[in-house]
Amino acid sequence: MISTHSEVVCMLSLLKTVWERWMDFPLQEGQIIDQGRYRIDRYIGMGSYGLAYLATDLMTLAPCLVKQSRPSKKEKGTELLGREAEFLKQLDHGRIPRMQAIFTEGKHRYLVMSYIEGLNIEQLLFDHDKSFSQAEAILFIRELGELIHAVHQASMVHLDVRIPNVLIKDGELFLIDFGLARRYVPEERDRALCERLERKGSPSFRDLRKEPQSLYREDSSFKREMRAPLYSSDWFAVGHMLLFLLYSDYHEEEQQEERPWEEELALQPKVAELLRLLLARESEEDAMYMQAIEQACEELGIGELTFKQAMENAIIVAPCL
């Protein structure tokens, strides 16, 4: 017998999850859609509002990515898929997926885009145990910042700059998943500032290693800050990504007490300054963040290098003691 409020909530949550899983059951491998145009080859995974598949364009025999709006999300999922298609169509960048088609079949809405094969940062960090030196991390952020700037120049905010959504292919970065992207809304700045004032402290190493479950859960203050349709939201997310990369080369001592990143990481002064700027998200000007990144590169003596060159040469900069 269910007798407590918490048990009722738990049961309702479980029923909702079961219903959504039933509604969002993925297409089968080999299934043909869009009147024979695309063949589903493999189910990739499920996001907040969409199901992703690796598919083949049977007209060109080229691989592509097919995104299906989640049936359980109803009109909201369809709306977001249409908005993503609009944004991808407007963007014209070689390292951002290209929109190829959008169509409705039966009760389902589908978006077709170019498929980018590569490892995302989450896979590199947690599945392949990749560690990034300080130099590699800064060059990575510089290249990512260029992609974000290209998005912002189109008056868009990505709003989902996370380690699963940045791919590395042949030493180059690609930014994917524009499902949550929105137009820039400068009026949101005051509300975002109020939320920032409620959030205290710097993230600890242990908090960061819980990603993605803890930092990106729906009720996390980090996620709420990251979703404000402001350019600074994307740079704030870049700051957390930089922390992930820097902590990948950090070795925690046994029974070590939790400390803020300023005390745990031995960073060059300009790198620490950059990190504080990104996490403070006080500016809507891309130029301020990009200039700080360049200053960090100059301090590390890597201004003329690319991320690809750093990865190939395994460049290591001595920590600042």
DSSP 265: -
Neighbour tally for 76: CB within 10 Å:
13
CB 77 within 8 A of CB 71: yes
The tokens describing 3, both together, are 């007798």
* Whole-number Å distance between alpha carbons of 117 and 160: 19
Using an 8 Å Cβ cutoff, are 245 and 274 in contact?
A: no
Residue of 160, 177, 234, 286 marked catalytic: 160
Helix (H, G, I), strand (E, B) or coil at 173: strand
Q: Which of 34, 76, 77, 80 is CA-nearest to residue 59?
A: 34
Cα gap 161→226, rounded to integer Å: 9
Give the Cα separation of 40 and 30 in Å (integer).
5
Which DSSP helix (H) or strand (E) runs through 101?
A: strand 99-105
Site of tokens 């380690």 = 163
Active site residue 160: yes
139: number of Cβ within 10 Å: 27
Measured from the Cβ of residue 235, the count of other Cβ atoms closer than 10 Å reads 29
- Tell whether omega for the bond before 212 is within 30 degrees of 0, i.e. cis: yes
Q: Which residues are catalytic?
A: 160
